[in-house]
Structure 1
Amino acid sequence: MKKDIKIPKVENVTLAVACTINKLNQEEWSVHLINRNEYDIENTLVSSTGYGEQDGEQQKTSTLRHFLETVPARSSILIEPITADIFHLNNEFWVSYYVDGRIYDKKFIFLPDTIKEENLIYIKELDTKGVLHS
């Protein structure tokens, strides 16, 4: 039965949208997966999409999928660049990975207009400021 299936809880794995300044002194935004565990996570799949509404019109981005063979313990890895033009949308990232043969998955959603200057915090794993998904 469905109630007998034990779904493990995702802990110490999160996403961050970080901002850096490039050589032309322009902001560059990117999405990073952060593994704060003491162990590697394996065969990680990340699916990303944006959706929402602007001026009464529905908008949706393409769905991107990324495969990461191993994300080492206590590390971060770049998932994809992201443009500020879509920060007004729900930016959804579905992350699935394996630890000791068990699958874990979690949906992370950055709500509209949460990725902005006043929400930036220092993220030590990336050594830059960004919005950390809680």
Structure 2
Amino acid sequence: MKKDIKIPKVEGVYIAVVNEYNKIYKTHDWNAYIINDKDVDLDMVIIVTSGFSENKTTSIFRKKIDMLPKKSYAKIELMQEALFALNNTFKVSFFEGNQMFDKTYLFRKNTINLKALQPLPLMDVKGVLVK
């Protein structure tokens, strides 16, 4: 039965972690974003995030975005730097038309840092990207 379910490959949807200046608190914060670089809107986007290592696990964070327009992005969450010592997963599920898509994005431990910043699609900032 399970072999009969076909979930297509996700392309054009990314997760990025960006180091941004917070004008209110005058600090540099790390924020996670979902980027929709597709030419279609994404419906009912569900994002489940967590961090883990061999002996630590964070609590699970869930976020729902009713509709993520084409060629746009949305903030998922603020990330504390202590989490970067863990593997961080972002499990993303969404509908494109009537088809369901699902993908798990993984930021391996210590890969989110200032030296790993690169230009991001659709955003005028640099960040750490997982495709």
Scaled by the length of structure 2, the TM-score of the pair is 0.93
| Cα separation, 2, equivalents of 1:70 and 1:42 | 5
Q: Which residue of 2 aligns with 1:30?
A: 31
Q: Which residue of 2 aligns with 1:107?
A: 104
Maintained 8 Å contact 2:42/2:70: yes
Equivalent residues, number = 130
| Cα separation, 2, equivalents of 1:113 and 1:99 | 33
Secondary structure of 2:85's aligned partner: coil
**Is 72-81 or 124-133 further displaced after alignment?**
124-133
Q: Which residue of 1 aligns with 2:78?
A: 81
**1:107-131 C-alpha deviation (Å, 9 max, x unpaired):** 0010000001111012252221210
| Cα separation, 2, equivalents of 1:112 and 1:120 | 15
| Cα separation, 2, equivalents of 1:86 and 1:4 | 37
Maintained 8 Å contact 2:45/2:93: yes
Q: CA deviation at 1:4?
A: 2.9
| Cα separation, 1, equivalents of 2:96 and 2:121 | 24
Q: CA deviation at 1:6?
A: 1.9
Runs of 4+ in 1 over 4 A off after TM superposition: none
Q: Which residue of 2 aligns with 1:67?
A: 64
Secondary structure of 2:15's aligned partner: strand
Aligned sequence identity (%) = 36
Q: Following superposition of structure 1 onto structure 2, how do residues 1-134 of structure 1 map, counting pairs within 5 Å?
A: 1-23=1-23, 24-53=25-54, 58-134=55-131
Give 1:40's aligned amino acid. D
Secondary structure of 1:118's aligned partner: helix
Maintained 8 Å contact 2:37/2:121: no
| Cα separation, 2, equivalents of 1:96 and 1:73 | 16
Maintained 8 Å contact 2:41/2:96: yes
Structure 1 unmatched runs, 5+: none
